Structure 1
């Protein structure tokens, strides 16, 4: 929550301790300290503190310290937590606009996703978040999500048949797995390691950095770069918190949040390369260069289910037309 904690002493910004900030903003993240999203929000916090002469501080709580993603999103909506960095997946049932950009293979590349989210479509989606008391500060890169498991390498779509994979709590993800011929098991991110280890599920799907930093490679050594989802993520502030800030501080937070997007994306590119090398060194088998066409073709019923309204069809057309 937004906290008022005294008057800052005169002096340099660097000399102002966190306890002396007039306003403390708590920001939640499920990823561990040092992860690109965490580092980018910390960078943003440094910028906010400097630009407000130490009056406003951002405290980042990584590794689900403030709760799993779904819980931290809800707490941010109510203003219990001030900010949250979260994937689009958990928003699919809350903010309909996020469903379209969460569709499998909707983006051709990471750069295509950046061009879409940084333009008018991103602004349109931000309006959807605002209706649920979340003010978008920027869109981060959630990476290309791919399958990993402890049973066998996935070389073709038929290899997925009958396997149990953890997915985020999203109807789109559940339907995607069914179209692949696999079984979806929604569960919190923090439960995945033990679920694979004990055989509750065969595997999960995520980007290389998460596969690495979560330690999931220890229990699921087969990783296939099918890249079925190039997923945006959102950095958002609670409207409850936002409305308590002065217009000047709102402008500072908005600007620093937008600038942190570039910081995050640069860190992300480096992290992906490091993670792939790290897990391979640890014994993981990364399957590259698969034929994606059968995977893409299998998504036809998913698009038929979620792209039904004129607005949704228009958004898909605009995304595909974006260079």
Structure 2
């Protein structure tokens, strides 16, 4: 864990060492920071770390209040509140931004990333800057990219050991077209649904299963209503740390700089926390009684093949130059020693 934290922090140490001038214009204020993450999840731990950093940097003048578990509404409701200046901050699955900026759908292409090194190269590089600019036009300021992690499939009916086992399962998916088409291509009946509604839907049998990173499955206690976990790792979710642009533009430059520094520092911490939690969560879910299935390489290849038309469709709909940059960045990271 120490090595991982040090590696992730390396890129932001310079910013964290910056000291705001004594005459910095910092006003007393409260920032509401909402998410749909469960208490104890890497997402909410990251939110609280951000709040801690901001409090320290502002000398207690800026109070960041964390609202987890959809307390202020679902993801898309939060987006509308951010755009309207009714909410200051939120952290959301980057794929959900596709409804505002269609190119974001590229991040949810099935089996796009093999590991977090590739994902970091994309989000911290030129691709991430392009996405930031696209959301800036939508009244949203991107402060940093956090992560939710690699998503896996769970269900209550049977062990999914091969792609054919998904046939007929009713699976809750993220409210994004690419997830609908991905799981329909795999033979499931895909049902889009806000995350705060998932536990009840699983408990009542409204849906048979869902897909999320292992840490999210554990902290949301979905193992209480799900028996089978399959480590599909079908998509990797970056998260977008968003600030309301109408509110941002009213802040003094010193306040903006403070929040930007805090965002970068908390991003390094949050990613490290998420990656450590992922492996531990799989072990904990197995210990709690879930049947955990790791797919054979040849079966993963079948998953890739069945979802290939979905990947091709959404790639074709995006800016060709961005698609090339995305693929080139991944390839460079994949082959780097």
Partner residue in 2 for 1:202: 208
Shift of 1:312: 4.6
Partner residue in 2 for 1:321: 331
Deviations 1:12-45 (A, max 9, x none): xxxxxxxxx7111100011123322222222222
Contact 2:161–2:295 at 8 Å: present in 1 too?
no
- TM-score between both structures, scaled by the size of structure 2: 0.86
CA distance in 2, matches of 1:99, 1:322: 21
Deviations 1:282-309 (A, max 9, x none): 1101101433111111122112211124
Runs of 4+ in 1 over 4 A off after TM superposition: none
Q: SS in structure 2 opposite 1:322?
A: helix
Alignment of 1:204-283 (within 5 A): 204-283=210-289
**Would you say 1:294 and 2:302 are equivalent positions?**
yes
Task: Count residues with an aligned counterpart.
Answer: 303
CA distance in 2, matches of 1:312, 1:171: 20
Partner residue in 1 for 2:7: none
Contact 1:116–1:322 at 8 Å: present in 2 too?
no
Deviations 1:166-186 (A, max 9, x none): 001100111111211211100
Contact 1:96–1:128 at 8 Å: present in 2 too?
no
With a CA cutoff of 8 Å and minimum separation of 6, indicate the structure with the bigger relative contact order. 2
Q: SS in structure 2 opposite 1:286?
A: strand
Shift of 1:52: 2.2
CA distance in 2, matches of 1:93, 1:315: 22
Partner residue in 2 for 1:180: 186
Where structure 2 has 5 or more consecutive residues not aligned to the other structure, the ranges are: 1-26
CA distance in 2, matches of 1:185, 1:146: 16
Partner residue in 2 for 1:16: none
Aligned equivalent of 1:305, options 310, 313, 331: 313
CA distance in 2, matches of 1:322, 1:221: 39
Deviations 1:183-202 (A, max 9, x none): 11001112212222222211
Contact 1:29–1:69 at 8 Å: present in 2 too?
yes
Partner residue in 2 for 1:148: 154
CA distance in 2, matches of 1:58, 1:41: 9
**Would you say 1:40 and 2:46 are equivalent positions?**
yes
CA RMSD of aligned residues (A): 1.5
Where structure 1 has 5 or more consecutive residues not aligned to the other structure, the ranges are: 1-20
Q: SS in structure 1 opposite 2:151?
A: strand
More helix by share: 2
Aligned equivalent of 1:120, options 113, 118, 126: 126
Greater Cα shift, 49-58 or 223-232: 49-58
Contact 1:226–1:290 at 8 Å: present in 2 too?
no
